[in-house]
Chain A
Amino acid sequence: MEKDERIALFQKWFADAIPHNKALGLKVIGASRGFASMQLDWREEFVGNPETGVLAGGPLTAMLDGCCGMSVATMLKNPEPFATLDLRIDYVRPAEPGKPVIAEAECYRVTRSVAFTRAFAHHGDPKDPIAAAAGTFMLGTKGRVTRAQSIGKEAIGAETKI
């Protein structure tokens, strides 16, 4: 599958079809095996400190959770429901008012029951992060497989080399 087509598919099922991600206006900007990237545009509603215009932690938390989750979906050989087990976020420095935030997540290990991810949020330079995250996901949780969980294999393929 071509890159644009793949990103459009992830955009549809990991941003637009998830109401809170849609409310945040998340844009999928990268998707490959074990890797997910999203962008969050600055909006007045996301501000935690009205005097400085600095984002609240919440929008970053939701974006990092979503981005780490998407990186898990790119790794699933067989689509199965999964859920966030825990998520740690270090707020390294304030986000700059008005600037979009980019999140890059990597799913670096998948076992039978748990997937391990890490992520950074930045303004364009990954070496100057705003936040760092580590998330673990429980695989094979209850419920049926959603379309989002099944597109990893479809869009990327179990054998794709990156």
Chain B
Amino acid sequence: MSALLERLAEARKSGDVGRLAEAIPYARWMKIAPENGTGELLTRMRYHSDLIGNTFLPAIHGGTLGAMLEMTAIFHLLWETETDTVPKIVNITVDYLRSARPVDVVARATVTKQGRRMVNVFAEAWQDDRSKPVATANAHFLVKSSDDAPPSL
């Protein structure tokens, strides 16, 4: 059993989903963590100056928004679906809707279609106003492990 799945079991026991991020070095470095304080599973990327992509506007780097939407989908699949493997990302398409200001970014994922091996997930990120998303993404994940499966996490 992977460290992440062990962490998932611990997080389920304690009810604190935030502990999932502790097992992922990249999530710690990016300050990306899931939270369920409001009863809804959200993922937050805490603002820090290393996220900036445009110093003139200033705006958060688009790559970091794609990265946090991907993590949002992974945390969602781990927490909200019965899984005994860590989901493997196959692909992701990110749409950039607005420039993201230098404040926290919050995101929510939903499963569009759950297949036996493949899951299609939609994720949406916003800042202060949920009705004004800064970026959205669609991603595919393999949720059954097999030797020839793609990478990541």
Q: Cβ of B41 < 8 Å from any Cβ of A?
A: no
B152, A62: Cβ atoms closer than 8 Å = no
Instruction: Check if B153 sits within 8 Å of A84, measured CB to CB.
Output: no
CA distance A103 to B143 in the complex (A): 28
Stretch of A28-36, A87-95, A111-119, A153-161 lying at the B interface: A87-95
Main secondary structure of the interface of A (DSSP, over half): mixed
B interface residues, tally (CB under 8 Å): 43
Binds A, one of B12-20, B90-98, B110-118, B119-127: B90-98
- The one of B25, B56, B61, B96 in contact with A50, judged by C-beta atoms closer than 8 angstroms, is B25
- Complex: how many Å from CA A26 to CA B3? 29
Decide if A152 is an interface residue (CB 8 Å cutoff): no
The CA of A48 and the CA of B87, in the complex, are separated in Å by 12
Q: Does A78 contact B (CB under 8 A)?
A: no
Contact residues of B between 12 and 61, Cβ < 8 Å to A: 23-30, 49-57, 61
A45 at the interface (CB under 8 A from B): yes
Contact of A19 among B55, B57, B86, B95 (CB under 8 A): B55
Would you call A140 an interface residue if the criterion is a C-beta within 8 Å of the partner chain's C-beta atoms? Answer: no
Bound form: Cα–Cα A18–B94 in Å: 20
With an 8 A cutoff between CB atoms, is A64 at the interface? Answer: yes
Name 25 A/B residue pairs within 8 A (Cβ), A-sorted.
A18-B52, A20-B50, A20-B51, A21-B53, A46-B25, A46-B26, A47-B26, A48-B152, A48-B153, A49-B4, A49-B152, A51-B2, A55-B26, A56-B25, A56-B153, A58-B30, A58-B64, A58-B71, A61-B66, A64-B63, A83-B99, A86-B94, A86-B96, A88-B92, A144-B56
Interface residues of A (CB under 8 A from B): 17-23, 44-51, 54-59, 61-66, 83-95, 130, 143-144, 146
